[in-house]
Amino acid sequence: MGLGGEPRRVQARDAELGAAVARAQEGDETAFAVAYRIVQPGLLGYLRGIVGDDAEDVASDAWLEIARDLGRFRGDGAGFRGWTATIARHRALDHLRRLKVRPRATVLEQDLLELPGAHNTHDQALESLSTQDALRLVAGLPRDQAEAVLLRVVVGLDGPAAARVLGKRPGAVRTAAHRGLKRLAQQLGVGGVTDEGPRTLGESR
């Protein structure tokens, strides 16, 4: 998988997040605000990839549930990131069922991705996702690939955590993320990677 290990920046951020969550569970509202500021950008980016312009509303519903159930959470900063992504995904799918639509393609905001340096073709593809036009390509991936890439890159989850959010085996999520990144590399003209033609976000394999 081309993502490699988590960057030190993410690990430091997760340590800060874990500490904030622990204080928030003891009733510290300021600490909850810190946790919100750390998690919200990635969560919102992930939701934009699923529900488009309704992401803010779905995120608000998710945070109400997160705040209500915070006392039940057990885990560290990385675990909290995965827990919140799971709640947000459930709220997003509920929203889509109400609308009776499938997840739709959308433009992701440029400032959501702080990407690691390039070490191979996949990382180069990710690093190229610094322009608005390139970010559109993520939304053009098949849904399983788009969600895997969004969870890994935008939310910052590792493979097993992303698999738990999606309710799939880690190998299946690794494969989906690999295929998605390979396709992005091809579309961005990185490393001469070949793959089949693009699908829409609403399609799944």
HSE at residue 15, side-chain half, CA atoms within 13 A, is: 7
Q: What is the pLDDT of residue 104?
A: 54
Q: What is the pLDDT of residues 138-188, one digit of tens each?
A: 778 888 888 888 888 778 898 899 999 999 999 999 899 889 888 888 877
Q: What is the pLDDT of residues 5-16, one digit of tens each?
A: 445 666 678 899
Q: What is the pLDDT of residue 24?
A: 96
DSSP string, 8-39: HHHHHHHHHHHHHHHHHHTT-HHHHHHHHHHH
Q: What is the pLDDT of residue 107?
A: 42
The burial of 137, by beta-carbon neighbours within 10 Å (0-12 exposed, 13-18 middle, 19 or more buried), is given as: buried
Q: What is the pLDDT of residue 74?
A: 94
> Residue 191 above 90 pLDDT?
no
Structure pTM? 0.70
Average pLDDT rounded to a whole number, residues 90-118? 61
Here the tokens at position 97 are 């069922």
Q: Which of 106-110, 121-125, 148-152, 189-193 has the lowest mean pLDDT?
A: 106-110
Q: What is the pLDDT of residue 115?
A: 38
Average pLDDT rounded to a whole number, residues 122-128? 51
66, containing H or E segment: helix 55-69
Average pLDDT rounded to a whole number, residues 58-87? 95
Here the tokens at position 59 are 């995120």
Q: What is the pLDDT of residues 84-93, one digit of tens each?
A: 999 999 999 9
Q: What is the pLDDT of residue 200?
A: 36
What sign does the CA torsion over 23, 24, 30, 33 have? positive
Check: CB of residue 49 under 8 Å from CB of residue 150. Answer: yes
More confident residue, 4 or 182: 182
More confident residue, 158 or 109: 158
Check: CB of residue 44 under 8 Å from CB of residue 91. Answer: no
Calculate the average pLDDT of the chain: 77
Report the length, in residues, of the chain.
Answer: 205
Please count the other Cβ atoms lying within 10 Å of the Cβ belonging to residue 193. Answer: 18
Distance CA 166, CA 169 (A): 9
Average pLDDT rounded to a whole number, residues 53-71? 94
Under the banding of pLDDT at 50, 70 and 90, the label for residue 19 is very high
